[in-house]
């Protein structure tokens, strides 16, 4: 298999590179690169610029605003977007609920929800994990009981990322308590303004308000907001999670961080020289870079194979990308934290002047919060331990 880009693909890469660096505001890209907390307006501004270009939901069907790109073009697009430190189009809208609605939703749901999800007029969040039902997602207890034209929803979701901004939440709910746990689950779309919905913040170890717990107390949800068939939600969730896992690899993000490691190491004092003089440190940087290149080649093979796959069927290879991609994200932040050393505080460094992170003193204030926040990537989207089981069953046939 020839993994080199064609001249047309190289030209597309240059177009994307120019667009990201000239059209997305520099102050937004700086906040992404520096690991700062993005504001709601940052996401909205960036995504609407992409949407005006037709690039907000490139992987969607063309009739719903996607691009007729090859899998390689989609790969190049995401790679350049992350290396330019552009905010990812909101994952919950673009890579999660959007593809589920486009593939399994009714025509009315597609017409109502997809345009607003693409333009970020509606902000979606994810209602999957619960206390006691995270990695064992099928053990969820939030229930939905049908009463006429509505479901009555009661329960709790947790680790709901950016739920404080959300207009809607897509939820897995139990609609048949007598069925086997994977077979009694449905996929509901719930308006966050509905009476009985309560959002409470969870402050994480890096000092940020990124995640929440969401409570449902007799929330009335129209039956028309059921996606697909009742009790088929587990199938839709597997489809969604496969999309999420492939996106978690984030090779471009790790490349951008590794480039920062190299720049800082050449100016960070160590003994009588700088950190880059340390052969052991250079060897660890090289090891991460080699694994990152291997992951990139693996992702290109997966991308090439997508052209012949049924898009409605989850690709188990996404589990491989998720495992190694999340591990390498953590490895790059560990190298950055080592460079910062004991100067790195545990809480977020929001007081550092923007665009001033090319010095060790400035970066040290951000290194620990970024390190702590990245601990989560081996857990969400299905823990890496669960992904090993997926690979063993679906790929190795064990």
Give the rounded percent of residues in the chain with a pLDDT score beyond 70: 88
Nearest 5°: phi and psi at 191? Answer: -70, 125
Can you say whether the dihedral through the CA atoms of 394, 92, 31, 204 is positive or negative? Answer: negative
| pLDDT value for 247 | 63
Beta bridge mates, 191: 168
Least confident of 79-93, 206-220, 303-317: 303-317
Across the chain, what does the average pLDDT equal? 88
Q: Which two tokens stand for residue 285?
A: 């940087």
Residue range(s) of every CATH 2.40.110.10 domain in the chain: 124-231
DSSP reduced 3-state for 198:
strand
| pLDDT value for 279 | 94
Tell me the CATH number of domain 124-231, given options 1.20.1430.10, 2.40.110.10, 3.30.43.10, 3.10.580.10: 2.40.110.10
pLDDT of 74 over the 90 cut: no
214-218, 262-266, 301-305, 394-398: range with highest mean pLDDT? 214-218
Q: Which two tokens stand for residue 25?
A: 């505001």
Q: What's the pTM? A: 0.83
Least confident of 126-130, 154-158, 246-250: 246-250
| pLDDT value for 173 | 98
Can you say whether the dihedral through the CA atoms of 328, 98, 125, 382 is positive or negative? Answer: negative
Architecture of the CATH domain 7-89 = Orthogonal Bundle (1.10)
Q: Which two tokens stand for residue 311?
A: 């898009």
Which residues are catalytic, by number? 244
CA distance 267 to 275: 7
pLDDT of 307 over the 70 cut: no
pLDDT of 2 over the 70 cut: no
| pLDDT value for 285 | 96
CA distance 53 to 324: 32
Mean pLDDT of all residues in 48-60:
96
pLDDT-derived band at 135 (thresholds 50, 70, 90) equals confident
Mean pLDDT of all residues in 204-216:
91
| pLDDT value for 141 | 96
Mean pLDDT of all residues in 40-56:
97
pLDDT of 67 over the 50 cut: yes
Residue range(s) of every CATH 1.20.140.10 domain in the chain: 249-394
52-56, 134-138, 361-365, 370-374: range with highest mean pLDDT? 52-56
Alpha helices by DSSP H, listed for the chain, are 7-23, 26-33, 40-53, 71-83, 91, 98-104, 107-118, 233-248, 251-265, 279-305, 317-340, 360-374, 384-394
Angle at which helices 384-394 and 317-340 cross, to 10°: 150
pLDDT-derived band at 227 (thresholds 50, 70, 90) equals very high
Closest to 11 (Cα-Cα) out of 84, 88, 80: 80
Mean pLDDT of all residues in 119-136:
92
| pLDDT value for 339 | 84
Mean pLDDT of all residues in 172-181:
94
Closest to 331 (Cα-Cα) out of 269, 277, 255: 255
Q: Cα torsion at 224, 229, 234, 235 (round to 10°)?
A: -120
Least confident of 27-31, 150-154, 371-375: 371-375
Mean pLDDT of all residues in 241-246:
67
| pLDDT value for 342 | 56
Q: Which two tokens stand for residue 365?
A: 């204030």
CA distance 301 to 285: 25
Mean pLDDT of all residues in 149-173:
97
pLDDT of 300 over the 90 cut: no
Closest to 98 (Cα-Cα) out of 75, 82, 121, 80: 121
Beta bridge mates, 133: 130
Fold type of domain 249-394: Butyryl-CoA Dehydrogenase, subunit A; domain 3 (1.20.140)
Gyration radius from the chain CA atoms: 21
| pLDDT value for 360 | 55
pLDDT of 357 over the 50 cut: no
Give burial (CB, 10 Å; 0-12/13-18/19+) of 222: middle
pLDDT of 62 over the 50 cut: yes
DSSP reduced 3-state for 269:
strand
pLDDT of 351 over the 50 cut: no
Are 90 and 124 spatial neighbours (Cβ–Cβ below 8 Å)?
A: yes
Mean pLDDT of all residues in 119-126:
98
CA distance 188 to 173: 7
356-to-238, 349, 352, 353 alpha-carbon distances in Å: 42, 12, 7, 6
Residue range(s) of every CATH 1.10.540.10 domain in the chain: 7-89
91-to-124, 259, 376, 388, 389 alpha-carbon distances in Å: 9, 25, 16, 24, 25
> Which secondary structure element, helix H or strand E, spans residue 216, and what is its range?
strand 209-222
DSSP reduced 3-state for 317:
helix
Mean pLDDT of all residues in 278-297:
93
Mean pLDDT of all residues in 234-241:
90
| pLDDT value for 354 | 42
Mean pLDDT of all residues in 216-236:
97
Higher-scoring residue by pLDDT: 303, 320: 320
Q: Cα torsion at 287, 292, 298, 302 (round to 10°)?
A: 160
pLDDT-derived band at 348 (thresholds 50, 70, 90) equals very low
Beta strand 150-157 with 273-274 is: unpaired
Mean pLDDT of all residues in 24-32:
93
CA distance 250 to 367: 19
Mean pLDDT of all residues in 174-187:
94
Mean pLDDT of all residues in 169-176:
98
């Amino acid at each position: 298999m020839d993994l080199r880009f064609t001249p047309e693909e190289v030209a597309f890469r240059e177009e994307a590179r120019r667009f990201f660096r000239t059209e997305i505001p520099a102050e937004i890209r700086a906040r992404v690169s520096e690991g700062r907390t993005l504001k709601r307006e940052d996401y909205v501004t960036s995504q609407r610029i992409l949407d005006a270009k037709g690039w907000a939901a490139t992987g969607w069907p063309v009739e719903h605003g996607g691009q007729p790109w090859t899998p390689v073009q989609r790969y190049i697009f995401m790679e350049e977007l992350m290396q330019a430190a552009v905010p990812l189009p909101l994952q919950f809208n673009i890579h999660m609920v959007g593809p589920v609605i486009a593939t399994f939703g009714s025509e009315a749901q597609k017409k109502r929800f997809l345009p607003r999800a693409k333009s970020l007029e509606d902000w979606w969040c994810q209602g999957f994990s619960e206390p006691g039902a995270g990695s064992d997602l099928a053990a969820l207890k939030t229930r939905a009981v049908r009463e006429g034209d509505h479901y009555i929803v009661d329960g709790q979701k947790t680790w709901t990322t950016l739920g404080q901004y959300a207009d809607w939440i897509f939820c897995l709910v139990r609609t048949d308590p007598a069925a086997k746990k994977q077979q009694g689950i449905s996929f509901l779309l719930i308006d966050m303004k509905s009476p009985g919905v309560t959002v409470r913040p969870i402050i994480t170890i890096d000092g940020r308000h990124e995640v929440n717990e969401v409570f449902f107390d007799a929330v009335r949800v129209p039956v028309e907001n059921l996606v697909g068939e009742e009790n088929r939600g587990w199938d839709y969730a597997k489809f969604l999670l496969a999309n999420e896992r492939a996106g978690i690899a984030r090779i471009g993000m790790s490349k951008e961080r590794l480039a920062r490691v190299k720049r800082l190491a050449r100016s960070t004092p160590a003994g009588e020289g700088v950190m880059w003089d340390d052969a052991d440190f250079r060897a660890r940087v090289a090891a991460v870079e080699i694994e990152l290149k291997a992951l990139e080649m693996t992702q290109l093979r997966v991308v090439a194979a997508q052209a012949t796959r049924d898009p409605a069927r989850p690709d188990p290879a996404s589990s491989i990308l998720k495992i190694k991609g999340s591990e390498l994200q953590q490895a790059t932040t560990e190298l950055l934290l080592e460079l910062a050393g004991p100067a790195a505080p545990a809480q977020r460094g929001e007081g550092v002047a923007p665009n001033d992170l090319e010095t060790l003193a400035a970066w040290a204030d951000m290194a620990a919060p970024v390190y702590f926040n990245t601990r989560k990537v081996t857990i969400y989207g299905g823990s890496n331990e669960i992904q090993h089981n997926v690979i063993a069953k679906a790929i190795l046939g064990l």
